[in-house]
Each structure stands twice: as structure tokens, then as C-alpha cells.
Structure 1
Amino acid sequence: MQKENMRKEERGQVESENENEISKVELQRTIGYFQGVSFIVGTIVGAGIFVSPTGVLKYSLLNVGIALIIWTACGIVSLMGALCYAELGTALPLSGGEYSHIKRALGSPLAFIFLWTAVFNKPASNAARALLFAEYATQPFYGECPAPELLKKCLALAVLWFLGILNGRSVKMAAWVQTVFTILKMMALSVIAIGGTVLLIRGRKENLARFENAFSSEIPNAVEVAEAFFQGLYAYGGWWSLNYLAEELKNPSRNIPWTVMTAVPSVTVFYLLVNISYLTVLTPKEIVSSVAVAVTWANRVIPSVAWMIPLSVAVSIFGALNSSMFTLGRLSYAGSQSGHLPSIISMINIQYCTPAPAMIFSTVIASIFIIPSDLIALTNYFGFSVWLMIGLTCASLIVLRYREPDLHRPYKVFLPVAFAMVAISLFLVLAPVVWSPKVQYIYASLFMLGGLLLYLPFVHFKIRFGFMDNITCYLQLLLEVSPANYKSD
């Protein structure tokens, strides 16, 4: 009798363990240090450094020395911001990036405004990247003639859905694609950097003169320096992407700080070397007037394989789009977990352990922006909102330091760095509004605040519609998804 009871207990324990394994539905920690570096670098390095790094030089009044200093300063500011995010990511390793940190420190309404703005702004940015990829991918087949708009839109939609499905089916495959395309784009940048360095070492007089007299041109005023600074920081955009992956990163306490300290300085060094290479081959006036600087550089230095540069631009855009799609899916997933989006979006595919509904949701919205692509132009006026949210996130770090001093922080940034980032963000939010006020900025601000019209009834007062439960149930069965950490009875 005792033996039978013992066997039953053993069988019960085994069955219980098996049920726990089967019913454990959550995001998996599958992204390592190298993949994390690939995501940051791949997000930052897009088409800009290949196509038109002219803004910094233009607003520096063709002063080579000032332009290179601004590129360096922008890299330092980006690293400061990334280190602030590293503290938040190690202390609160959750999906959602800024959204999760703002919600914890500053409250649900501000987090909802961020989500509401991002759900409009970020898919539009992805749509713009997809259209730019289609432009570079189709143009070689049409020579001097422009490619048909319908073809570009169809290709852009195909790329969006390919990456959306890829990210919805396999995190490992998405990370592999990101790593491969990051390596390819950095190889292309290396060709430009090394080529320019070799030419500089050989030392033609006209090439060396640009650097010997680096500060001989007119010195820009404060407003022009600020404009150049804006252009440089735009080129570094994406340094904040790692925090969206925190819930899927192996050993986040160690990997988040080390990944940030590797990726951002590496991009800064590459940006400086590439700009020096451009200036070695081309004059500042030629750079500013060129439509695609890297193509002009290649036609001068390696004309026989100049076709590699347009291909490299397409590869670079594809990699940046992949990482942006990945992070946007995690933002939607985190917002749904907090009740700020429909509950189906927070569910995870049982077979692949990916936030498939969130990926579908973000891909559908990006697709809508591609069809009437004029909508993308509207998001240009939301640029200030990016730095507003960065400032709020760094302010969240300061608030949590004082409000939750006992919160476990595996990495702590030097607190004055956070205060400096808040001040820089405030300047970058107010500067465009003060220097070139436009009515569109008012519309963008009203749109952001308009999110509260949805927050009050559906989040604060928790109004629900009965038919939504039926739709959620149907989509669960269709997509084979369930809530995270679902436990079967």
C-alpha cells in the first residue's frame, strides 16, 4: 500500500513538472552580448552616414574642425544617455524601454501619452525606412529613370511583412538576421574608413590641407552650432534600443552596461573615420552638394566596384528596419501588459514564445502609413517628442534614485550625467519651437495630449465592451497565443 502511494506521489510530481514546463509561456532570454551589440549598432547606423552626412558640415559653415568636434560631442551625448538607460535596464529588466521606466517613476498617464505618440510615430518611421529600402533596391534596374511608385510601395509592404513574420516566429532568427546585416554594413563602412585612411597616409597636399587648416573657415554662431548638433544627434538615433530587449537579454545585469559601452563608442569611432575619409577625397563644398556622398566617394576611389555602395545602403536600411520592428513589437507588448492596449497584444505564441500579436499589430500600422505615404511627412513635426521622452526617462532615473533608494541596481550611472541629459533634452525640445515656430508643433502637441481622451475612459475608468472578449478569444485560437506565464488548471 505504501509503495503504491509513493508511486502515485512520484507520478503526480512528474505530471506537475511536465504541466509547468508545457504551461510556461513567456519571453525567453535568448539574446547574448554580441547580438545586443548588433541591435544597437544596427539601429543607429542607417542610410544617413552613407547617403547624406551633410547637415553637420553645412551648419558648421564648412568648418572641418568644428564639424568633427560636433560628431564627437554627439557621440558622447549618446553614450551619456545610453548609460542612464543602462541603469534603468539593469534595475528594471522589462520589455517596453522608456515606456516601462516612465510608468514606474512618473505614473501611468505620462506612460500612456508616450505609448500613444510612439504607436503613431514609430510605425511611420518604419514605413519611411521600408520605402527608402525599396528606392535603393529598385533604382539599379531603372538607371536614370525613377522607379514606379506602385512597385516601391509593394516592395516596401513585402519587406515590412517579411520582417514582421520573421520577428513573430523566431527571436533567434531575427537576432541572427540582425547580426549578419550589421556585420555587412560595418564591412561597407570599413571599406570607406580604411580607403580614406590609406589615402590620407599617402598624403596628397590638397587632401592634407583640409585637416592642417581645419579651423580656418568661418566659425558658426551658437544657433548654427545647435542646428549642426541636431543633425549629428539624429544620425546617432537608436542608442536607446537595448532597453526594449531587456526581458530577453541573457544576464542583463552584466550585458546591458557592457553592450552599451561597446556599441556606442564603436559607432562614434566609425562615424569619425568615415567623415574623415569623405573629407580626404572630397572638398567640403562637394560633400554638401552631393546627393549621395558615399556613391560620389566610391566613384572617385573604387570606380570599378562603386555599385557596392547603393547595395550597402539597402543592406544598412534593411538591418535598421529589422531592429526597429523588433523593438516596436516589444513596446506594444509592454503597453498591452499594463492594460494600455487590447489584451490580445500582450499574449505570446505558445509554440515560438514570441509576442506574435504585438508584431502583427505594429506591422499593420506601419503598412497603413505606406499606402498614403504623405502621412509620413506629418511625423517630421514629432521629432521634439523623441527628446521629450528621453528627458522624461532620465528624469525617471533621478526620481527612482530618491524614491526607491533600496531598488537593486547592478549598475549605477554618475548622477550628474542624468541631470545633464535632462537639461540637454529640454534644450532639444524647446530649441526648434523657439527658433522656427510652426503651427504644426501645436498640432503635434495637441495630438500627444489627445491621448488622455482615450486614457480616461478606457484605462482610468476601465470601460470595457463585451464583444472585445469574443474577439480576443477568437484571435487566441487563431494565433495560438496565451497570456504570459499562463498556468493551466
Structure 2
Amino acid sequence: MEEGKSHDPKDVTKKGKSKMQLKRNIGYIDGVSFIIGTIVGAGIFVSPTGVLKHSLLNVGIALTIWTASGLVSLMGSLCYAELGTALPFSGGEYSHIKRGLGSLPAFVFIWTSTVTKPASNAARALLFAEYATQPFYGICPAPEVVKKCLALAVLWSLGILNGRSVKMAAWVQTVFTLLKMMALSVIAVGGIVLLVGGRRESLARFEDAFSSEIPSASQVAEAFFQGLYAYGGWWSLNYMAEEMKNPSRNIPLTVMTAVPAVIVFYLLVNISYLTVLTPKEIVSSVAVAVTWADRVIPSVAWIIPLSVAVSIFGALNSSMFTLGRLSYAGSQSGHLPVLMSMLNVHSCTPAPAMIFSTTIASIFIIPSDLIMLTNYFGFLPGL
């Protein structure tokens, strides 16, 4: 049976051609790139302080919570992998809610997501513009109009790319995921080298990892919440399950590769930060990775801000890809205008859905700033 085409006699037109539908173009490597690219954003580079702060600077408890949060996320992703294998449809939670709870909850979910998820993409685009433009202005803040123009340019470039070719979007995702993992590898390996080198104060920090004040149950819960938030995005593969090659094999295999890899990298990067910086320095730092680079590799510290921009770009591409599939699934069920269920005749991509979600995100960018958008999509449910 040829993948990507319908073989139901009802789907065959009078001319004998199969009905247009999404094709299975996403393989194992692409799936791993999308999951890692969605989970790993700017947070691990800029401000991985929430867990440590709510753990009362207790290094042992903080690392334990990072591990436990990753394992809980892995269990959730395996549950989603089972759903995606049994029901390989586009739309992720929307498709599962519609099948399990009915049309009304699914309708509420799709319309909430139609507003909040583009706001999240708008914030990512503005954050990318912030890091991409700042090196050209030194200590002076970059003009708002420059940042907004760049954010709109990046948003529409990715929107057009995702609307024209699934393979090209997947290739871009793979490249940028590799780049961000290389940057994390620099931090992780640098910390391991310093730790093995026997820095006395660093070794003492890990030998007495649990010697600091023990947080209360509510503080542990808050730290755990921060850890789970850092792993957000493990569910992204189910939004594109309809386009996965051999979903019964690749979906579980992809999850079992991507999420454990993120857990390992998160732990190694946090250990590296704690090797170079004290817990108080980490909590008080505006951009932990930049502070780390200034201490360890000051001659090439510019790599870290560049890595943050690369990481945000990859996360934005992945988020836009999945959002297009969500709008496409909602339109197919009649919960969004039927136009968004149409596909590009040349590449079988949901181009109208991509244009719609990109337009909504652009509307958020023009009158808003980064802080306003962060407060907006962080407050509303459904993100």
C-alpha cells in the first residue's frame, strides 16, 4: 500500500485520483529533532534557576527533582506514544479529546489554542529578535521597531517554509536541533572536564550535596512544577502522528530516544553550571550560560548568545509546525473554517492553516512587547 494516499473507494474521484491528504514524510530522525527542538528552548541557557531556587539551593534535591521531572515527562510521553500509535491522527490532544470526551470539549480546546499558542510563538519570535539584534547595539537596547520587524520576518519565513514543504521544515528542524545540542555539549563537557580536574570547591559542593537546608513539601512541589515546565513539549510528536512513517514503530522509538536524551543533557548542563558557579550565583544570574561562558571560555563567550538565538529559532519552527497541524485537524472536524483543511496541491502541506496561525501570531507581535506576551500566554489555560 502506498503511503500518503487514501485507498478507501469513497475517497476516489471520478477521474480515478486519490483524495488529497497529508503524506507520511516524517521519519525517525525528524521525529527526534522535533521533540528535542520543542523541549529545549532558551530556558536551559538563560534561567534554569526555578528548581534550584525552590529547593532552597540544596544541590542534591535540585538534581533529584530534575531527574524525577524528566522521568515523569518520559512516562507521559510513553502514554502519548501509545495514543499516537493507536490513533495516528493530526492534532495531538485535540484529536484525543474529541474522541474521548466529545465535540464540545474539543471545540473549547481548539479555540483556546487558536489564541494562546500563536501568542506563544509571537513571544518566541520576539525573544529571538532580542538575542539576534543585541550584539549589534552593544550595551544600548535595540530599538523596538527593529526587533518587531525581525520577529515578523522570522515568523513569516518559517510560516512560508512550513506551508511549502514538510521535508524542508524537517531538515531545518534537524539542523537547528543539532546546533543547539552541540552548544549544550560544550557546556556539559566543559563542566565534566573541570569537575574531573578536581576543583576542590566544586567537588565539595557535590560531596555535601544534601547538606543545605531541606525545603518543605510545598517548596518541593513548586520546584517539581518548575522542572516539569522545563520538559514541556514532550507531547509534540502526536500533533504530526498522521505524517509519521511506520507510526507503530517510529513513535515509541522516537520518544524513547528523544526524552531520555534531554534528561541526560539537562542533568549534565546543570552539573556543569554548579561546577563553575555557586548556587547563589546561578539564582542571581540573568543568563546563567553567559555567566558560565565568561568564566570558562571568555574568548569565545559570544557563542552562548548565538546558541540561545539558534535554540529559540528551532523551538519556534517546531511550534509553528505543530500548530499548523492543530488548525488543520480542527478544520477537518468542522470546528474551524473549512479553508484551513485544504492542502498545498504540490506538497500536501496545510498551507492555509499555516497562514492562519502565522497571521494570528503577527497580530500579537505588532502592538505587544515580550513581557506582555509572556504574561498573557502564561496566564491563560490551554497553552
TM-score interval for Structure 1 and Structure 2 normalised by the shorter chain: over 0.9
TM-score by length of 1: 0.74
Matched, 1:150 2:148: no
- Deviation >6 Å, runs of 4+: none
Residues 380-435 of structure 1: CA deviation (Å, up to 9, x unaligned): 2125x45xxxxxxxxxxxxxxxxxxxxxxxxxxxxxxxxxxxxxxxxxxxxxxxxx
Report the alpha carbon displacement of residue 234 of structure 1 after superposing the two structures with TM. 1.2
Distance 2:15 2:178 in 1: 41
Matched, 1:133 2:133: no
Residues 21-59 of structure 1: CA deviation (Å, up to 9, x unaligned): 5x5421110110010000000000000000010111111
Quote the residue 2:75 is aligned against. 80
Distance 1:218 1:19 in 2: 74
SS in 2 for 1:349: coil
The alignment of Structure 1 onto Structure 2 pairs a total of residues equal to: 369
Q: Are the equivalent residues in 1 in contact too, given 2:24–2:242 (CA < 8 A)?
A: yes
Quote the residue 1:219 is aligned against. 214
Quote the residue 2:304 is aligned against. 309
Quote the residue 1:201 is aligned against. 196
SS in 2 for 1:30: coil
Residues 304-356 of structure 1: CA deviation (Å, up to 9, x unaligned): 11100000000000000000000000000000000000000011111121100
* 1:269-288 map, 5 Å: 269-288=264-283
Distance 2:78 2:164 in 1: 31
Matched, 1:266 2:261: yes
Residues 122-158 of structure 1: CA deviation (Å, up to 9, x unaligned): 1110000000000000000011110001110111011
RMSD across aligned positions (CA): 1.4
Matched, 1:378 2:346: no
Report the alpha carbon displacement of residue 18 of structure 1 after superposing the two structures with TM. 11
Quote the residue 1:232 is aligned against. 227
Q: Of the candidates 163, 166, 175, which is equivalent to residue 168 of structure 1?
A: 163
Distance 1:19 1:170 in 2: 26
AA at the equivalent of 1:379? F
Report the alpha carbon displacement of residue 247 of structure 1 after superposing the two structures with TM. 0.7
Distance 1:294 1:18 in 2: 60
Distance 1:25 1:186 in 2: 36
Distance 2:208 2:254 in 1: 37
SS in 2 for 1:350: coil
Quote the residue 1:350 is aligned against. 345
AA at the equivalent of 1:34? I
Residues 441-484 of structure 1: CA deviation (Å, up to 9, x unaligned): xxxxxxxxxxxxxxxxxxxxxxxxxxxxxxxxxxxxxxxxxxxx
Quote the residue 1:44 is aligned against. 39
Quote the residue 1:29 is aligned against. 24
* 1:86-485 map, 5 Å: 86-373=81-368, 376=373, 377-382=375-380, 385-386=382-383
Distance 1:379 1:196 in 2: 35
SS in 2 for 1:46: coil
Larger radius of gyration: 1
Quote the residue 1:403 is aligned against. none
Distance 2:278 2:349 in 1: 49
Report the alpha carbon displacement of residue 371 of structure 1 after superposing the two structures with TM. 1.2
SS in 2 for 1:81: helix
Matched, 1:64 2:62: no
SS in 2 for 1:144: coil
Report the alpha carbon displacement of residue 282 of structure 1 after superposing the two structures with TM. 0.4
Q: Which runs of 5+ in 2 are unaligned?
A: 1-11
Distance 1:26 1:41 in 2: 27
AA at the equivalent of 2:289? A
Q: Are the equivalent residues in 1 in contact too, given 2:13–2:19 (CA < 8 A)?
A: no
Distance 2:59 2:66 in 1: 11
Q: Are the equivalent residues in 1 in contact too, given 2:173–2:318 (CA < 8 A)?
A: yes
SS in 2 for 1:341: coil
Quote the residue 2:9 is aligned against. none
AA at the equivalent of 1:198? V
Residues 204-236 of structure 1: CA deviation (Å, up to 9, x unaligned): 110101100101111111111111112111111
Report the alpha carbon displacement of residue 19 of structure 1 after superposing the two structures with TM. 4.5
Distance 2:287 2:48 in 1: 9
Distance 1:116 1:195 in 2: 45
> Structure 1 residues 209, 20: closer, same or farther in 2, change over 3 A?
farther
Report the alpha carbon displacement of residue 17 of structure 1 after superposing the two structures with TM. 11
AA at the equivalent of 1:172? K
Q: Which runs of 5+ in 1 are unaligned?
A: 1-15, 387-489
Identity %: 81
Distance 1:18 1:195 in 2: 64
